[in-house]
Structure 1
Amino acid sequence: MSSAADPLAALGSLQGVAETVDSVRKAVDRVYGHRIMRRRSAELTSEAALRGARGSAALSGADWALEEVRRRTDFGADPEARTVGAALRLTAEAGQLLSIWRQSPLRVLARLHLVASGSTADGDVVGRPRLAGEPVDEPLIEQPLPSADEVAGRLDGLSRLVIAGSAAPALVLSAVVHGELLALRPFASHNGLVARTAERIVLINSGLDPKAVCPAEVGHAELGREAYLNAFAGYVSGTGEGMAQWIAHCGRAVELGARETTAVCEALQRGAA
């Protein structure tokens, strides 16, 4: 595939990206090679999903302790609880949408927004890209909001990229999907949660993390909101250096997610969890 037909391929040759991709691959391989992973992978997948949802919610302003997320059953009481509930629903839904993503990414994104919004949301704005003049509730991201027309065009371009496939490493594609959705903020709400869930879907679907045990959301939260926003500013800049910075940040997040699951494996091996 030529670079014109595969615009993401060039990102793999940016300075430092190949090293980032290699480092991520090694970190993921270490988790998959762990003896506990071979015996209790379903348990690890469930635990990674819980921790990933907690991390994504933390970046969206609901920074709850893991045990609080694990203990709670009511997620409709206040805005933070609703954010945590949305993150949990999205993580659970992601695994059901893998095959659809390859054929219709826009359909998946609409479904993710519907799931995140829940049953109490305004049905007029749920599950579709925003229209001209409609407000967006996404306080974490302060970059200028693209117009509805620009959103429609860029979403279509992103969909075409996903459907066509790319020779770029999975990490690169997942970082671009994540960054583009954050930049566009295509929905009236929950854009950060949806963007990070889409990143998760790409990482699983690509075969890099097929059992979903290396939750990038854990790493994004551990690195912190300031680092997240600084790296995202690199993506928005559109420069080679900025894009490489964002990809490196996303790579580090996956590595930290892998480290988290490795620690769970060690705890299970000791019989402490």
Structure 2
Amino acid sequence: MRSKCFVGFSGYGMPVTNDPLAPLLALTGVEDAFTEARERVDAALRHRALRRNGGQVAAEVGLRAAVASAALEDHRYDLADVRGGTVTDPIVQGALRVSESLGGMTDLWPRAPRQVLARLHMLAARGSVAESDLGRLISGADRIDALAGLVAGNERTPPLLLAAIVHAELITLRPFAGPAGVVARAAARLTLVSRGFDARGLVGVEAGHLTREPEYVGSAGAYATGTPDGVRSWLRHYAAAVIEGADEIPRIGDEVLAPSGG
């Protein structure tokens, strides 16, 4: 079945001058779910470990996010094994490269999203697809243009809503060969960081998706139908995954503080 989304977007390929996604917030339960996610993130970001050990927490979040993103591509490994450097699976290594490189793409993402998507794929898929396919679209060029037009210069759409749509479109289209889902999840993370929702990259949404994996898969499929119920299902899942990621921050923070006693 061919996917029916892009849902309700106008001005394809053009910089956003109003918010074409605003009607999605009126879907039942979506705005409340997003508000709760924002509040849980704000609360988590007050954890005392972040005052002096924020870099360590961010590094651990990035590692866990990469392992989770690879697992969602069905390349599943224990976190300890990946941390220990014994896992050579190219999908895992690609997810790690992507996670480590996101900070350098934050400023470019809202200015040149097509370029960033190609770069993300090159990082994610190196060693798992043919060299000639790295960074090259294999489907959905028109919708990628539309998505790029939505991302570029968009300061109106709430960050969480924009990230959710970026993720859903890319996971629906799978426009790149190989681990396209790694690219989708990274692009959504870049949206949250670049728009200031998670400026320090501390919310491991990927781990939230993995924790709720059946819901993640089901709601992504529902989004692809293009129905209001399907889109609502995805948006509510995305908020729930953000909450899962937020709730992980204090747990990681406590682990970072534990060796020194605070």
Runs of 4+ in 1 over 6 A off after TM superposition: none
**Secondary structure at 2:110 match in 1:** helix
Q: Which amino acid aligns with 1:58?
A: A
Partner of 1:54: 67
Structure 1 alignment gaps of length 5 or more: 76-80, 131-147
Verify: 1:212 aligned to 2:201, yes or no: yes
Deviations 1:141-188 (A, max 9, x none): xxxxxxx4xx11101100001114153321111111011011111112
Pick aligned residue for 1:189 from 178, 183, 192 = 178
Distance verdict in 2 for CA 1:171–1:260, change over 3 Å: same
Deviations 1:20-70 (A, max 9, x none): 111111111112111111121111110100010011111111221111110
Verify: 1:70 aligned to 2:83, yes or no: yes
Q: Which amino acid aligns with 1:43?
A: Q
Q: Which amino acid aligns with 1:211?
A: R
| Contact preservation (8 Å) 2:75, 2:92 | yes
Taking the aligned partners of 1:162 and 1:254, their CA distance within structure 2 comes to 20
Verify: 1:227 aligned to 2:215, yes or no: yes
Map 1:64-103; keep pairs closer than 5 Å: 64-73=77-86, 75=88, 81-103=89-111
Partner of 2:232: 244
| Contact preservation (8 Å) 1:21, 1:169 | no
**Secondary structure at 1:47 match in 2:** helix
Identity %: 35
Verify: 1:200 aligned to 2:189, yes or no: yes
| Contact preservation (8 Å) 1:204, 1:211 | yes
Q: Which amino acid aligns with 1:208?
A: F
| Contact preservation (8 Å) 2:64, 2:207 | yes
| Contact preservation (8 Å) 2:129, 2:178 | no
TM superposition score normalised by structure 2: 0.89
| Contact preservation (8 Å) 1:171, 1:247 | no
TM superposition score normalised by structure 1: 0.85
Taking the aligned partners of 2:220 and 2:208, their CA distance within structure 1 comes to 15
**Secondary structure at 2:133 match in 1:** coil
- How many equivalent residue pairs? 246
Partner of 2:143: 154
Structure 2 alignment gaps of length 5 or more: 1-8, 11-17
Partner of 1:260: 248
Shift of 1:120: 7.0
| Contact preservation (8 Å) 2:205, 2:245 | yes
Partner of 1:41: 54
| Contact preservation (8 Å) 2:57, 2:256 | no
